[in-house]
Structure 1
Amino acid sequence: MLKKLSFSPVLLAIVLAVAMLLWLLSGDTFSAKDTQPAPQQVAQKQLPQVETRWSEAQLYQATQIAQGQVLPWRSVSIKSQQAGRVEALLKQQGDNVAQGDKLLRLSDEGRSAMLAQAKANLTLRQSELNSARTLGKAQFLSATELTRLESELAKAEAELQNATLAVKQTEPVAPFNGVVDRRHIEVGDLIQTGTALLQLVQIDKLKVTAQIPQQHVSALQLGQQAKVRLLDGRALSGELSFISYAADSATRSYYIEVSVANPQHWRIAGASATLDIALDSVPAHRISPALLSLDNSGKLTVAVVDEQQQVVFYPVQILTADTDGAWVSGLPARAQIITQGAGFVRAGDKVKVAGAKA
């Protein structure tokens, strides 16, 4: 009699699990052999997105601004060339004078008498020489004596010139048209040679001096028009009349002068002023200062999208700037300027333009 076989539930579960595992492994192997795996899809790189604005270059009248000082066109201190006492003041402070006008008179101190003596001595020496020449022709006078008399005549002529000049210098005259700006003496003062008498200035024409940094002097040319703005709001027009050829060794700046007509004789000599020198017109774009950035070398740049939709950082120069915007040069005549997103791209990056504003 056959014996009936029996299995426990645990053993049965183990057998079934092993059978299921073998079936799964065999199915995966056959599937790998019979079917080709699906190709993997590579994610496409997304281009950075920027916003831009089209800008057209315009001719901009650039100016060079500098702080300067207004000076008289001419200024000279009249000093005494002779010693003496002041007898009369022929011109007072504030008086207009013409070239050659007498300004004051010093005491004679015997100079007129010396002049008269020099004239008489010259007449005598001339007469002696004329007589000697007559005798010399008759061979009654030696050549040596004739030479001595000629020397005496030359000495008398020199003495006459000195005496004449001494008398003339007792009445100093104005060397140019101007105004007596200061008087340093009074009637009765005893003065010596070299004493300052009067200060004479020419103010119908003025000059404004300033210092220009070395990086800007190349843009200046003689004859450029300039506007002189005074602290009280008044303004005068002039032109650039001088540019120094050598920079100041301390400041590395160049000295300039602007000549200005002052027909109204404004009392502005010695005052401060602002110079606006008109430079040549250049193509420029007006942009927001927020669009400016610095490159690795410290130069100002503006980000632009070119025709290949790539980013280009153009170095620019600020011509002028205020709170509303800045005029810059260095960009193409027509430029697609990046207004949003320039800080997230680099030069050469290809970008997607979200929308270009006109």
Structure 2
Amino acid sequence: MFSQLAKRPWLLAIVIALLLLLWLLSGDLYRAQDRAAPDQPVAENGLAKVEIHWLEAEPMQRQHVVQGQVEPWRRVELRAQVNAQVLRLDRDKGDRVEQGELLLSLSPDDRPAQVARGEAEVRQRQSEVKAAQRLRERSLVSANELLRLQSELAKARAELDSARQQLQNTRISAPFAGVYDQRQVELGGAVQPGQSLLTLVDISQLRVSAQVAQQQVTQLRLGQPVRIELLDGRELTGELHFIAAAADPGSRSFRIEVRVANPELQRLAGASATLHIDTGETLAHRLSPALLSLDESGRHGVKWVNAAQRVEFTAVELLSVDNQGAWVSGLPQRVALITLGQGFVEPGQAVRVQTTAEGS
């Protein structure tokens, strides 16, 4: 056999490599059997051994962080009320306009004539009523006749008001100061009642809306300061302006709205934003999220060791999480937190503890 291996050096190299690999594996297996897994507690005198770290509660600013949407403070879509043609584009898209300013004119057609006829009809009916009133004083006309003429006058006035309103509807004016944002018609185009003409938005203030969980809404109050972070890193400040009285039936969350001043008329409406709402200072513990576990009910909690050297599980409220750790509340002010071996012990179990060094 050895002569055959000598004739084939490459085969000899393979055999040597296999023997070396087997030797290394046998050594690793022996050492693995001689040593416990890194996170597995070593039993001493029948008790599992765990490592703990004493943790003190610290004051922290409670903060709700929710995702929201930036919206204009006011937005209105102006629609046609009459059949007409677009006669004139008095202002154009992107213009800043004042309240009452004319934005778009529709063809009046015969509406001025209808107004004139209505005015003449009203004048005639007024004369008839005055004459009948004088005759009534001398009992020369019946009360029913006077009532009929007064009714005809009221009808003429109503028709005149309708004709004037129809004529007014051909002049599309701004209901509030804002920005002429969109136009859906062109010069000369025919429009019908209900057809969209243009959109006006008010961005002198902004509304940032979001949904807040029902567990958090009780901690909010109107007027609270809110910090708004945009996707590009810019930050705005506002105040909580609205909290819904009832939860959304689907999500069981409450809509909130934050009012933000925008004197420079920055074009932010439609952007996504993150809302940071401070809700007061509280005592909490800062720990690694890896130390959080779930109980049978699915609640977040941590395991710790009490004075009797037994394991406790306490459900906690997760206040905030970032890259450095998690803030939780609900634990005793000073707690012996299990940092190694918590996955192998159960609440109520007696354990032997080893305290880790500060910051380890």
- CA 117–52 in structure 1, closer or farther in 2 if over 3 Å, else same: same
Who is 1:86 aligned against?
A: 86
Question: TM-score w.r.t. structure 1 length?
Answer: 0.79
Amino acid at match of 1:269: A
- CA 190–47 in structure 1, closer or farther in 2 if over 3 Å, else same: closer
| In 1, Cα distance between equivalents of 2:52 and 2:141 | 109
Amino acid at match of 2:187: V
Contact kept, 8 Å, 1:181 with 1:201, in 2: the verdict is yes
Who is 1:64 aligned against?
A: 64
State the 1:138 CA deviation.
0.9
Q: Which runs of 4+ in 1 moved over 6 A?
A: none
Rg larger in 1 or in 2? Answer: 1
Of 273-282 and 341-350, deviating more is: 341-350
Who is 1:274 aligned against?
A: 274
In structure 1, runs of 5+ residues without a counterpart are 1-43
Give the secondary structure class of the aligned counterpart of 2:335.
strand
- 1:112-166 deviation line (CA, Å, top 9, x unaligned): 2222222222122112111111111111111121111111111121122112212
State the 1:343 CA deviation.
4.1
- CA 227–134 in structure 1, closer or farther in 2 if over 3 Å, else same: same
Matched, 1:192 2:192: yes
- CA 120–296 in structure 1, closer or farther in 2 if over 3 Å, else same: closer
Of 255-264 and 160-169, deviating more is: 255-264
State the 1:355 CA deviation.
3.7
Amino acid at match of 2:73: W
Of 100-109 and 341-350, deviating more is: 341-350
| In 2, Cα distance between equivalents of 1:314 and 1:205 | 45
State the 1:201 CA deviation.
0.8
In structure 2, runs of 5+ residues without a counterpart are 1-43
State the 1:181 CA deviation.
0.3
Question: TM-score w.r.t. structure 2 length?
Answer: 0.79
Identity of aligned residues (%): 48
Correspondences of 1:241-280 after superposition (within 5 Å): 241-280=241-280
Who is 2:31 aligned against?
A: none
Amino acid at match of 1:102: L
Matched, 1:174 2:169: no
Give the secondary structure class of the aligned counterpart of 1:319.
strand
- CA 341–187 in structure 1, closer or farther in 2 if over 3 Å, else same: closer
| In 2, Cα distance between equivalents of 1:322 and 1:107 | 61
Who is 1:211 aligned against?
A: 211
State the 1:350 CA deviation.
4.6
Correspondences of 1:97-112 after superposition (within 5 Å): 97-112=97-112
Question: How many pairs does the alignment contain?
Answer: 315
Contact kept, 8 Å, 1:241 with 1:259, in 2: the verdict is yes
Who is 1:129 aligned against?
A: 129
Who is 1:33 aligned against?
A: none
Who is 1:240 aligned against?
A: 240
Of 254-263 and 121-130, deviating more is: 254-263
Give the secondary structure class of the aligned counterpart of 1:103.
strand
Of 255-264 and 100-109, deviating more is: 255-264
Contact kept, 8 Å, 1:52 with 1:357, in 2: the verdict is no
Amino acid at match of 1:121: E
| In 1, Cα distance between equivalents of 2:232 and 2:244 | 29
Correspondences of 1:279-318 after superposition (within 5 Å): 279-318=279-318
- 1:30-63 deviation line (CA, Å, top 9, x unaligned): xxxxxxxxxxxxxx95765544333221222222
Amino acid at match of 1:172: I
- CA 188–45 in structure 1, closer or farther in 2 if over 3 Å, else same: closer
| In 1, Cα distance between equivalents of 2:344 and 2:85 | 85
Who is 1:223 aligned against?
A: 223
Amino acid at match of 2:128: E
Of 177-186 and 343-352, deviating more is: 343-352
| In 1, Cα distance between equivalents of 2:268 and 2:180 | 15
RMSD, aligned α-carbons = 2.4
State the 1:290 CA deviation.
2.9
Give the secondary structure class of the aligned counterpart of 2:171.
coil
Contact kept, 8 Å, 1:61 with 1:281, in 2: the verdict is yes
State the 1:202 CA deviation.
1.0
| In 1, Cα distance between equivalents of 2:346 and 2:148 | 97
Who is 1:156 aligned against?
A: 156
| In 1, Cα distance between equivalents of 2:346 and 2:299 | 15
